[in-house]
Amino acid sequence: MRVLVGTKDVAMAAPRKLPDERTLLELRERGMTLAGIAELYGVTESGVQRALHRADAHAGRQTYRDILPWAIDAAHRSTAIMGHIRVLARQRSGLDVPESSLLALQGWLDRLEESGLVLNYHPEAPPNPASRTGGFYYMDRGPDDEWIIRQPVPGNPGGN
């Protein structure tokens, strides 16, 4: 697709048709064929095969989805908290992380621990001290909190 930006003709990427890598891998694990996945998403078998190859290259790498128990709204994925969570995922995956990012992560974790707070999330949470865009917020650590993440209550995912 091409669009006119000012006086320049700019090529834009086509919208993504395939799901994220984890979903593709899960479909294959459930026994879906390349042809079945291609038909489901309206792409070619070779497109599915290339995406699965890229997914295998990332296999074993953690992402924020492996750490956070919530589906994060797109509006909240570029917050400072998400930056810390992504650094944590890279560290857990054994990838190189800049020293400054590790220091910032450790400072954040220490502040949560010292303040007796845990992180929670609700997509409709308003802006607050944890996040200027909302979504994420801090709560007092409870007796059932094992780490910095408040686990969702079954049947009440956003109202912990």
pLDDT in tens, 14-72: 677 888 887 888 887 788 888 899 999 999 988 888 888 887 655 667 788 889 999 99
Give the tokens for residue 41: 């998403």
Give the domain range for residue 105: 64-140
CA distance linking residue 92 with residue 124, whole number of Å: 29
Which of 56-60, 89-93, 133-137 is most confident? 133-137
**Furthest CA-CA distance within the chain:** 61
Contacts of 123 (CB under 8 A, 6+ apart): 72, 73, 76, 135, 158
pLDDT, averaged across the chain: 85
Q: Are residues 68 and 48 in the same domain?
A: no
Is residue 156 situated within a structural domain? no
Same domain? For 111 and 44 the reply is no
53 and 121: one domain? no
Looking at the structure, tell me whether residues 108 and 123 fall in a common domain. Answer: yes
- Same-domain check for residues 34 and 101: no
Domain for residue 3, yes or no? no
Residues 94 and 46 grouped into a single domain: no
Cα gap 71→37, rounded to integer Å? 23
Quick check: is 104 in a domain?
A: yes
Are residue 68 and residue 37 in the same domain, yes or no?
Answer: no
29 within some domain: yes
Q: Of 88, 90, 82, 156, which Cα lies nearest the Cα of 119?
A: 82
Whether residue 5 is predicted with pLDDT greater than 80 in this model: the reply is: no
- Same domain, residue pair 69 and 85: yes
- Asked if 39 and 92 touch (Cβ cutoff 8 Å), the reply is no
Indicate the pTM of the whole model: 0.62
Q: Does 125 reside within a domain?
A: yes
Are residues 49 and 69 both part of a single domain? no
Could you say which DSSP state residue 18 is in? Answer: S
For 53, the 3-state DSSP assignment is: helix
Give CA–CA dist 118/108, Å, rounded: 11
Say yes or no to pLDDT of 13 above 70: no
User: Could you tell me if 129 and 73 lie in one domain?
Assistant: yes
Q: Are residues 84 and 120 in the same domain?
A: yes
Q: How many domains, the chain?
A: 2
C-alpha distances out from residue 126 to 17, 60, 104, 112, 134, Å? 32, 34, 24, 20, 4
Q: Measure Cα distances from 104 to 21, 37, 75, 117, 140 in Å.
A: 29, 41, 22, 17, 22
Highest mean pLDDT among 1-10, 14-23, 102-111 belongs to 102-111
Same domain, 93 and 49: no
